[in-house]
A = this chain, B = another copy of it.
Protein backbone atom coordinates (compact mmCIF):
# COMPACT_ATOMS: atom_id res chain seq x y z
CA UNK A 1 0.00 0.00 0.00
CA UNK A 2 0.95 3.67 -0.26
CA UNK A 3 0.83 6.17 2.58
CA UNK A 4 0.97 9.92 2.14
CA UNK A 5 2.11 11.88 5.17
CA UNK A 6 1.65 15.65 5.24
CA UNK A 7 3.71 17.52 7.80
CA UNK A 8 3.10 21.20 8.48
CA UNK A 9 4.42 23.74 10.96
CA UNK A 10 1.81 24.21 13.72
CA UNK A 11 -0.36 27.28 13.28
CA UNK A 12 1.18 29.35 16.09
CA UNK A 13 4.77 28.44 15.20
CA UNK A 14 6.96 30.80 13.17
CA UNK A 15 7.78 29.41 9.73
CA UNK A 16 10.84 31.30 8.42
CA UNK A 17 11.00 29.20 5.25
CA UNK A 18 7.38 30.04 4.46
CA UNK A 19 8.05 33.73 5.14
CA UNK A 20 11.02 33.65 2.74
CA UNK A 21 8.99 31.96 0.00
CA UNK A 22 6.16 34.48 0.48
CA UNK A 23 8.60 37.39 0.18
CA UNK A 24 10.21 35.89 -2.92
CA UNK A 25 6.79 35.42 -4.58
CA UNK A 26 5.79 39.02 -3.84
CA UNK A 27 9.15 40.21 -5.19
CA UNK A 28 8.26 38.41 -8.42
CA UNK A 29 4.98 40.34 -8.55
CA UNK A 30 2.57 37.82 -7.00
CA UNK A 31 1.15 40.37 -4.59
CA UNK A 32 -2.03 38.33 -4.12
CA UNK A 33 -0.05 35.91 -1.93
CA UNK A 34 -0.70 36.88 1.69
CA UNK A 35 0.73 33.92 3.60
CA UNK A 36 2.86 30.87 2.85
CA UNK A 37 3.66 27.88 5.01
CA UNK A 38 6.10 25.21 3.90
CA UNK A 39 5.76 21.64 5.09
CA UNK A 40 6.85 18.21 3.93
CA UNK A 41 5.01 15.64 1.85
CA UNK A 42 6.31 12.11 2.40
CA UNK A 43 5.20 9.17 0.26
CA UNK A 44 5.83 5.72 1.72
CA UNK A 45 5.42 2.33 0.06
CA UNK A 46 4.52 -0.22 2.69
CA UNK A 47 4.16 -3.98 2.64
CA UNK A 48 1.11 -5.33 4.47
CA UNK A 49 2.12 -7.38 7.47
CA UNK A 50 -0.32 -9.67 9.29
CA UNK A 51 -1.24 -8.52 12.79
CA UNK A 52 0.01 -5.00 12.13
CA UNK A 53 -2.23 -1.99 11.91
CA UNK A 54 -0.55 0.22 9.30
CA UNK A 55 -2.14 3.41 10.58
CA UNK A 56 -0.92 2.80 14.10
CA UNK A 57 2.58 2.01 12.78
CA UNK A 58 2.55 5.20 10.69
CA UNK A 59 1.47 7.26 13.70
CA UNK A 60 4.47 5.85 15.52
CA UNK A 61 6.80 6.64 12.59
CA UNK A 62 5.53 10.22 12.57
CA UNK A 63 6.05 10.67 16.29
CA UNK A 64 9.45 8.96 16.39
CA UNK A 65 11.06 10.19 13.20
CA UNK A 66 9.05 11.93 10.49
CA UNK A 67 7.62 14.90 12.39
CA UNK A 68 8.80 17.05 15.25
CA UNK A 69 5.55 16.99 17.17
CA UNK A 70 6.53 19.96 19.34
CA UNK A 71 6.32 22.28 16.38
CA UNK A 72 4.72 20.27 13.57
CA UNK A 73 1.38 18.61 12.86
CA UNK A 74 0.95 15.58 10.65
CA UNK A 75 -1.82 14.00 8.64
CA UNK A 76 -1.75 10.41 7.37
CA UNK A 77 -3.56 9.14 4.28
CA UNK A 78 -3.44 5.42 3.43
CA UNK A 79 -4.31 4.02 0.01
CA UNK A 80 -4.46 0.38 -1.02
CA UNK A 81 -2.63 0.09 -4.34
Residues of A at the B interface (CB closer than 8 Å) are: 6-8, 18, 21, 24-25, 28, 30, 32-49, 52, 54, 57, 60-61, 64-66
Contact = CB atoms under 8 A, between A and B. Distances in A.
A32 B61 contact: no
Given A57-B30, A61-B25, A65-B25, A42 B38 contact: yes
A34 B30 contact: no
Given A38-B40, A39-B41, A40-B41, A32 B6 contact: no
A29 to B, nearest CB: 10
Given A21-B66, A32-B52, A52-B32, A8 B61 contact: no
5 contacts: A28-B64, A32-B48, A33-B45, A36-B42, A38-B40
